[in-house]
Structure 1
Amino acid sequence: MIWLAIYFPSGVLQYQRLCHDISAARPVAFYDPQQLTILAVEGADKAVTVGLSVATAQALCAELVLIEYQSNLTEQYTDWLAKWSYNYSARVVIPSCEIQSQCRGDSTQVMDVLLLEVGSMQQVFSGLDNLLHQYATQASGYGFRWQMVLAEHPLMAQLLAVHRPQLTSESELTSAQGSTAVQRVYETKAALSQLKALAISTLPVEPSVIQRCQQMGLNTVAALMALPRAELGRRFGESLLSLLTQLQGRIEVPQCFYTPAETYQQKMSLMYDVEHIEGVLFPLSRMLSQLSDYLLQRQLAILRLQLTLAYRDNELPPLSLLIHYPFAEHRCDSLLALCRLQLERQTLYSPVVALQLDVSSFVEQHLDEDCWWQQQGVSAEIRQLFATLEARLGEHCVKGLAMASHHLPEQSCQVKPLTQWGQSGSRLALSDLSHKTAGIAYDRLAAERTASYDTLGLFRPSFLLKQPQPLALHEFTRLKGPERISPPWWLTQHDRDYYIAAHIDGGLCWVFYDGQDWFLQGWFS
């Protein structure tokens, strides 16, 4: 296997820069809300260090952006990182964050290093060079700093990415294009020579073990490996022996790979209180942009989106909105447009401090119904209009019409929700046709059928009543007809004789006589 290890120094803080659109020139820091001390800092002067009080840090650096640390911030970062890294490999090992390990007191893992198994992806990307270049370009596009290493064993790759990186910038990646990526993969012997030069303090072991080694005069990994294994096991236990065995590539430790969730959830804690809807739309657009990228990469779309706004006043229940997308949307601008319509109708009873998006189910993306050989169908603009009307008026107020196979006119069409509209009837049958010629033949047959109706003098009104209405004989004057339509035999109804008539109040109507009474069926435009 070939492992790609990417080290993101202060990755959680870099992700907060991306979420809140913080300039790269401004330093950012996490602080503990209980002790009011700095937990992590990125981009600040050396005077601002971990452990300083918030007041002292602000006095030393006036431009410092302080973000209250919450444990879910690291989970959001690692989940986001794994989601877009999953496009480059199906075997993604989620990194452990340094700030989280400090809070838990865990120092037995290599921190902030993402692992990708890329040996199996060479043919997909036409070589590792293309994979590295695309990954580095996307990471740099997000504003992240990174360090990369290719190695044959995961632990080797992690340690080398932090302390002996091969690639640290896009310029370095471009300059290395002369030699193939396979030639740059650290073999086990070459990696060992690099690892032996590292200090013992760089190993992911307990601080007490490192202190005991240093007291014995062991300062490098090479000095540690030179000692007899039996003696090391007796003094330091099996954990250190297992670590050294992994470093030498003798055993492979099973990795816990990332598994994409069947649902989507994204939460953002705002750095400031938002009292107006316009202030909500800016961070919401960033969240929807990430959702759109997620859907586009997986060729998915959504029908419903749950948007939750958390108030600063914890006694107030959060504002929860269910946004409907009747035509399975995935584009950011369309997602935001309907969210805006729903939000403009709401009242904020307290400043908003957090936003959350939830998607419980997905559907496949479908191409537009207006196929290029048909020159027909519902355009994207019309679908957007229908979706806007439904968002303004409500789901129960906007319906779609679809044809049904039935002899009686009042039962030949159906009223359906927009989510189902266009999924049945003659137009849907075109999506099941496997060839363009079949679609052309269908349209030709429909045109011939319409022409035959015109030849026979058969006309249909543009507006049909849900149920025929009784009509007196003196209320209309027959102009054309009759045309007999027979209901199915199992309905035990009389045959109908249809006429085109002029109504006494004006307008052309479609009436019929069932042998007993006259009825109004519809109106011509």
Structure 2
Amino acid sequence: MQFPALQPDSLGCEAAQQLPVAVVNEQHCIVQLNAVAGQRGIALNMALGTAAALCPNLQLLPYQPQLQLNILQSVAQQLYQVTADIALDPPDGLYIRLCNMLQLYQGLAGYWQALSRELKLLPYRYYYASGATPFAAKCLARQQLNLLTGEPDALATALNHSPLRFTELDTDSQQQLQRLGINTLGQLLALAQAELARRFDSSLLSYLGRLRGSFYHALHYIKPEHSFSRYVELLYDIIDTAVLSKPLQALLQQLEQQLQRINAACHQLQLSLLFRGMPAHRLSIGSAQGEYRAANWLKLCQLQLDKLKLTEPVSGLQLEVTAFVAQQSQSDDLFQPVPGAVSPLQLVSLLQARLGYHCVSGLTLQNQHLPEQASQRPLPLLAGKSAVTALALRPAFLLAKPQQLTETVEISHGPERLCPDGWALDAQRDYFIGRNSKGQWLWLYRTAQQQWFVQGIFS
């Protein structure tokens, strides 16, 4: 299976589907292009100068081998849930073993239906072909035949008509064969091996042996990953965080597809904003409940992105998840006709994303008589300790630091004596409830030195 344009197809913006995009290698030749560029007359292996003359608004991207490999690995991981044996064929191909999957899908037609359904979820163009050996399938897929059959005669006929340029032979061997009048694989396979061994080196015989299946062709099949890492390069630099929602949504949808297949969720995302002239900015987005839906994660990401003030345009996005958890079923009330749109844990996650992780907490009572120690702020929605001491007539709002009383109040309740420091006489406090001229009910205390302070305010 061949993916001829992984880099252009991976661009996460709508403009990439409307503008001509091409990928250029170090030799200034076109190695990948999108459909719009092909319609403008751009072709593979075309020189950059010729391509620019044909299409002045051609958008160019540098060829990145590591990015190409990362995308190919992500495609293989996406397909792993449908088919078991997948081997990478860098830079743009995959070998998929069919024979051990046909019984599961009740034949080749059922298997291809399941595999193509998974491929439609990906934004990448692809061409495919089946073959008796890996090299045979690759040769037919390179010709974009989309030939999927188990008939040996049909595969042999297509392989015999294949031009030599679609094989793994080097350029010198192809030119030498063409000078001898050999232009197709059928003509090459008809020659005696002794004659080929006398005229060519061992690489030609090794290739033909693996093409026929007489030599063993080792493949290294991938293993499933228990993490998620995807990168998308933007077609143009973006300074507005609101515009990042579109490419980010594409990454989150890929994450949702992977989580759905393994029936999992995640509590934490690592989102990196990449710049050209400065280090990446990393955001940690959390969900107290654990999410797998892309729409819910997008809301949490947008709340954090809205707080950012970018000083430099963003050139790419990197999304990573290092740990998955099993999905927990939501137990709704049997007699509730419409379940709540937002669960308590989801609401906590939204508040943490908007206000900050440390700005949202729960509140529990402690078995302490001092007001500073009578309450505790644990994680939200956690069951706290119940207070044994009855805390009557306590204010709803305690000041972070007691403030000296500077106004006239009318005392209506008190005193209540509390001693913070081992009942020392000089540390005793006499608490009162009073009302000021504004109608506010204050919680006051008087020290042993007859100084008055405001400790809290009643709601």
Q: Which residue, out of 79, 84, 88, partners 2:82?
A: 88
**TM-score of the superposition, structure 2-length normalised?**
0.73
SS in 1 for 2:89: coil
Q: Deviations over 1:152-192 (max 9, x none)?
A: 3322222223337354xxxxxxxxxxxxx8xx3133x5533
**1:47: how far off?**
4.7
Kept in 2, the 8 Å contact 1:369–1:378? The answer is no
Using the TM superposition, give the Cα deviation of residue 92 of structure 1 relative to its aligned residue in structure 2, in angstroms.
Answer: 1.0
Aligned to 2:136: 156
**Please, what is the CA RMSD of the aligned residues?**
4.0
Map 1:221-370 → 2, pairs under 5 A: 221-314=185-278, 317-370=279-332
Superposition pairs of residues 459-470 of structure 1, within 5 angstroms? 464-465=386-387
Letter in 2 for 1:27: P
CA deviations over 1:381-438 (Å, ceiling 9, x no partner): 32221111222333334345899xxxxxxxxx997535xx67x99xxxxxxxxxxxxx
Q: Paired residue for 1:48?
A: 42
**Displacement of 1:69:** 2.7
Residue identity opposite 1:227 in structure 2: L
Residues 466, 157 of structure 1: alpha-carbon distance in 2 compared, 3 angstrom cutoff: farther
Distance 1:250 1:365 in 2: 48
C-alpha deviation, 1:91, in angstroms: 0.8
TM superposition shift of 1:149? 2.7
Name the structure where helix makes up a greater proportion of residues.
1
Verify: 1:60 aligned to 2:54, yes or no: yes
Among 123, 126, 129, the residue aligned to 2:109? 129
Contact 1:302 1:328 in 2 (8 A): yes
Letter in 2 for 1:122: L
Q: Say if 1:13 and 1:28, in contact at 8 Å, map to a contact too.
A: no
- Which consecutive residues of structure 2, in runs of 5 or more, have no partner in the other structure? 366-374, 394-412, 416-431, 435-459
- For the 8 Å contact 1:196–1:221, the answer to whether it is kept is yes
State the identity as a percent: 28
The number of aligned residues is 395
- Name 1:7's counterpart in structure 2: 2
Q: What amino acid sits opposite 1:92 in the alignment? A: I
1:300–1:362 Cα contact (<8 Å) kept: yes
Partners of 2:334 and 2:105 lie apart in 1 by 31
Change in Cα spacing, 1:128 to 1:254, as seen in structure 2 (3 Å) is same
Q: Distance in 2 between matches of 1:345 and 1:401?
A: 27
CA distance in 1, matches of 2:50, 2:161: 38
What residue number does 1:108 align with?
A: none
Give the partner amino acid of 2:90: S
Instruction: Measure the CA separation in 1 of the matches of 2:105 and 2:167.
Output: 33
TM-score, with length taken from structure 1: 0.64
Q: Following TM superposition, by how much is the alpha carbon of 1:89 offset from its aligned partner in structure 2, in angstroms?
A: 0.7
One-letter identity of the residue aligned with 2:32: A
What's the counterpart of residue 22 of structure 2?
29
Distance 1:84 1:41 in 2: 23
Structure 1: runs of 5+ lacking an equivalent: 1-5, 98-111, 168-180, 404-412, 426-462, 477-502, 506-525
Code of the residue aligned with 2:54 in structure 1: it is L
